[in-house]
Amino acid sequence: MIEVRDLEVRYGARTVARVPELDVAAGECVAIVGESGSGKSTTLMSLLGLTENADVSGSIKVCGLDVRTASPRELRAIRGARAALVMQSPQAALSPTTRLGTLMRRALKLHGVTADPVAAVKAVMLDPAILRRYPHEISGGQAQRFAIALAIALGAGVVLADEPTSALDVTVQAEVITVLRRLQRERDLAILLVSHDLALVSTIADRVLVMKDGEVVESGPAARVLADPSHPYTRDLLEATP
């Protein structure tokens, strides 16, 4: 679903992220782990063509579309409908005066998709009554799950999640993660997860990329990276993780 080769994102003379290889297949969860300034979010943004004012080189294919050469119209068709972005605080992106149900129906209509909003919110373990609510009436964890519901209603095959749970309490985080994992299994969803939390990542990711200062310092199956880290930075991270 995602195929990246020799990606390089530069702002002026500064290289912010360099990723030689990144693949995410359907039903797979791949995680990019790193601390602030590692370039992990930039990498994720570049996959949807959202890095403004940046020079991007290399090849990026998302759902078969070459992101770098795609027209704005093609990109728009991909974003949201095929590859959904889940951010740290999705509430900021929900129009405050629109009920969630209305919002979902509009999004479905815009992308010409027929889907049942009730089924979609049930799939993320939310009460369908939430569709009558306004964005400020729901909690952070509910907003996060609603964002995922929107993605699956639109038929997204890929979810790109940028620190989707780091603003949430651990018990709420558990709910969001459970939902993501279930969808990954049941709908063959491909998940690209960007996180600073190595412990969380280690429990759900199939493969892990560790980034530091814009470079991928280590990558491989999650179990291997945990058991036998080859880069000193990965060992530092492992040691610092409680």
- Exactly one of 20, 68, 89, 224 binds another protein (CB under 8 A); which one? 89
Question: DSSP letter at 115?
Answer: -
- Exactly one of 174, 206, 215, 224 binds another protein (CB under 8 A); which one? 174
Q: Is 239 in the site for another protein (CB under 8 A)?
A: yes
Part in contact with another protein (CB under 8 A); list of ranges 19-27, 59-67, 105-113, 115-123? 105-113
Residue 200, SS3 per DSSP: helix
What distance in Å separates the CA atoms of residue 154 and residue 148, rounded to the nearest whole number? 10
What distance in Å separates the CA atoms of residue 194 and residue 71, rounded to the nearest whole number? 26
- Kindly report the number of other CB atoms within 10 A of residue 210's CB atom: 26
Residue 56, SS3 per DSSP: strand
Contacts with another protein, 30-69, as mask; x by CB under 8 A? -----xx----xx--x--x-xxxx----------------
- Between 18 and 79, name the residue whose CB sits nearer to another protein: 79
What distance in Å separates the CA atoms of residue 142 and residue 144, rounded to the nearest whole number? 5
Question: DSSP letter at 214?
Answer: T
Question: Can you give the binding site for another protein, defined by CB under 8 A?
Answer: 11-12, 16, 35-36, 41-42, 45, 48, 50-53, 76, 79-80, 85, 87-90, 92-95, 98, 103, 106-107, 110-111, 125, 139, 141, 150, 162, 169-175, 177-179, 181, 196-200, 202-204, 223, 226-227, 236-242
